[in-house]
């Protein structure tokens, strides 16, 4: 399997990356379900197409990949060595679009939580973050 992947071009590898049902997103969804919350996925009527929407609570969760959304971690600071003049502005546009989408959601009265791929790896911390966000007295 790895030999086959190694033969793919950069473009082909990038095309295989999904924007839905990623491992961090599935982890968040499973955890929410175990906590007893029910939700909708990828509501295209809301700005930014949030990954998880808890309409009853008026809360939206965005699960961001560190590389694609430019998190300030090791993975988020990486830049492909080929065509950095293309990738730099492209990834910066993603980051700017995320800021605008979150602001628009908040302006519509939604509470927004952004979960980064690297943060989702620590399951106990993720559960604490979700519990606090979804509690009735959560401000953010």
- CATH code for the domain in which residue 124 is found: 3.40.960.10
Is 16 within a domain? no
Is 32 within a domain? yes
Closest CA to 48 of 62, 59, 28: 62
| pLDDT value of position 2 | 53
Is 97 within a domain? yes
Q: Residue 86 belongs to what domain range? A: 21-134
Q: Residue 4: is its pLDDT beyond 90? A: no
Higher pLDDT, 81 or 13: 81
| pLDDT value of position 78 | 84
pTM recorded for the entire structure: 0.82
Higher pLDDT, 102 or 87: 102
Beta-strand pair 52-54/111-116: unpaired
Is 140 within a domain? no
Is 2 within a domain? no
Average pLDDT over residues 127-135: 93
Please state, in angstroms and as integers, the Cα–Cα distance from residue 83 to each residue in 11, 51, 80, following that order.
12, 30, 7
Q: Which regions of 47-103 does DSSP assign to beta strands (E)?
A: 52-54, 59-64
Is 83 within a domain? yes
Is 130 within a domain? yes
How many structural domains is the chain composed of?
1
Give the torsion through C-alpha atoms of 30, 112, 98, 74, to 10 deg.
-60
Instruction: Give tens-digit pLDDT for 14-65.
Output: 666 767 778 889 999 999 999 999 999 988 899 989 999 999 999 999 999 8
Is 13 within a domain? no
Higher pLDDT, 82 or 99: 99
| pLDDT value of position 140 | 46
């Amino acid at each position: 399997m790895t030999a086959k992947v190694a033969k793919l071009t950069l473009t082909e590898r990038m095309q295989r990356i999904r924007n839905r049902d990623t491992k961090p997103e599935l982890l968040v969804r499973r955890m929410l379900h175990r906590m007893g919350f029910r939700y909708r996925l990828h509501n295209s009527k809301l700005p930014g197409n949030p990954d998880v929407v808890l309409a009853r609570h008026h809360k939206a969760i965005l699960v961001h990949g560190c590389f694609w959304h430019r998190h300030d971690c090791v993975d988020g600071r990486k830049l492909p060595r080929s065509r950095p003049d293309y990738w730099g502005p492209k990834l910066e546009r993603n980051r700017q679009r995320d800021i605008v989408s979150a602001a628009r959601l908040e302006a519509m009265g939604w509470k927004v939580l952004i979960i980064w791929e690297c943060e989702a790896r620590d399951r106990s911390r993720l559960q604490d973050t979700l519990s606090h966000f979804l509690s009735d007295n959560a401000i953010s």
